[in-house]
Amino acid sequence: MEKKEIKSLTLPELQEEMAQLGEKSFRASQMYEWMHRKLARDYEEMSNIPAAMKAKCGERYRYTALKIAAVQESAVDGTKKFLFALSDGNVVESVWMRYKHGNSVCISSQVGCRMGCRFCASTLDGLVRNLTPAEMLDQIYAITLETKERVSNVVVMGSGEPLDNYDNLLRFITLLSDENGLHISQRNITVSTCGIVPMMRRLADEKLQITLALSLHAATDEKRRELMPIANQYTLAELMACCAYYFEQTGRRITFEYSLVRHVNDSGKDAQMLASLIRGLNCHVNLIPVNPVKERNYVQSERHSVEAFAALLQKKGINVTVRREMGRDIDGACGQLRRRFLAEMKEG
Ligand code: SAH
């Protein structure tokens, strides 16, 4: 049987496990603090834990840690992109962004992705595997250690579809927002999905205080199907009903992400249709000029189209922001750094 990951256990679970090993409850708390507060990279660092207990844990559990495989820093805005090597040799990307209101980290939830969105680099080679809760936390922990600054916001918007890795995602959120860990408020955690309706409903029923972002990208089923294969499974009508349900259950306003692609979804008519589609929903629209991906021929909307699109939504009373592009000079788009790294490895 595979060893359990010690960093994926909640504090009560760890207490239970330690009790079975004959350890006192305060030892579990100490160890939890080393893992989730002091961000220890291994058992060695845990100076107040008896060597015998560390040895027992070493035998019984896996202790995950990431290695930095590459870092790129933007000369424009200080954004840092990290490529991390997992213990099985797979690599994932995370991004660190500094904003006025605090530091934000964008993490990956899977190695690769199976959703197949046409404009996205993460999905080009399909899904390799899910990330475990500890591996999702590790991205934040490693970046905190590296930058020596507190992370205040986490967005699950890197590679992967978080709702395709549901149980691990929920456990990750529990651990990340735990007061005995980094204690990042759920209100400062955003999960972005391409729109897997039954999973969104399940998430709504958990009544968490996180922000749910839905990658919409089109206002008609036909256009959305061209961009996102998931749109063949769920219609926009189902999605909108689901978003209303999410708000009803959680009281949290939905964020709609809309990547603007030149001559594909950025016309005045597109903006009109989007406005009618989301009318009446408690929401916010985030417009993202599409990041060109080498393997795809989508082109970014022109500045004036982006502005006109935003202005039309605003006129209709819709909350809208245009995402500031961070780190464009450093393979900013999802999955691009990983792809380049893997290609270079192949070439030797
Ligand atoms: N699977 C999730 C989260 C990962 S993608 C989702 O689909 O939401 C995070 C966001 O980046 C999504 O809105 C996605 O559609 C968008 N995205 C992916 N590739 C992009 C690109 N090349 N340019 C702009 N946005 C992109």
Residue 285 neighbours by CB under 8 Å, 6+ apart: 255, 256, 258, 274, 278, 313, 318, 319, 320, 321
Of the residues 20, 44, 62, which one is the last residue of a structural domain?
62
The reported pLDDT for the residue numbered 75 is: 86
> Do 94 and 132 fall within a single domain?
yes
The reported pLDDT for the residue numbered 335 is: 67
Active site residue 334: yes
> Do 300 and 224 fall within a single domain?
yes
The reported pLDDT for the residue numbered 88 is: 95
Structural domain including 27 reads 4-62
Helix (H) or strand (E) holding 28: helix 25-36
The reported pLDDT for the residue numbered 341 is: 73
Give the position, in ligand 1's atom list, of the atom nearest the Cα of 158. 4
CATH number for the domain that contains residue 234: 3.20.20.70
Of the residues 22, 46, 62, which one is the last residue of a structural domain?
62
| CB of residue 212 inside a 6 A radius of ligand 1 | no
The reported pLDDT for the residue numbered 78 is: 86
Q: What is the separation of C-alpha 155 from the centre of its chain, rounded to a whole number of angstroms?
A: 5
What separation, in Å, do the N-terminal and C-terminal C-alpha atoms of the chain show? 35
> Do 102 and 247 fall within a single domain?
yes
Strand-pairing partners, residue 127, are: 112
Residue to substitute in 323, 334, 339 for testing ligand 1 pocket (most ligand atoms within 8 angstroms of CB): 334
The reported pLDDT for the residue numbered 194 is: 98
The reported pLDDT for the residue numbered 296 is: 81
Number of separate domains in the chain: 2
Residue to substitute in 259, 265, 291, 299 for testing ligand 1 pocket (most ligand atoms within 8 angstroms of CB): 259
Active site residue 242: no
Alpha-carbon span 257 to 190, nearest angstrom = 12
Of the residues 62, 78, 108, which one is the last residue of a structural domain?
62
> Do 50 and 151 fall within a single domain?
no
> Do 55 and 87 fall within a single domain?
no
> Do 156 and 29 fall within a single domain?
no
Residues of the chain with pLDDT under 70: 1, 325-328, 331-335, 345-348
CATH number for the domain that contains residue 39: 1.10.150.530
Tell me the torsion sign for CA atoms 235, 250, 12, 43: positive
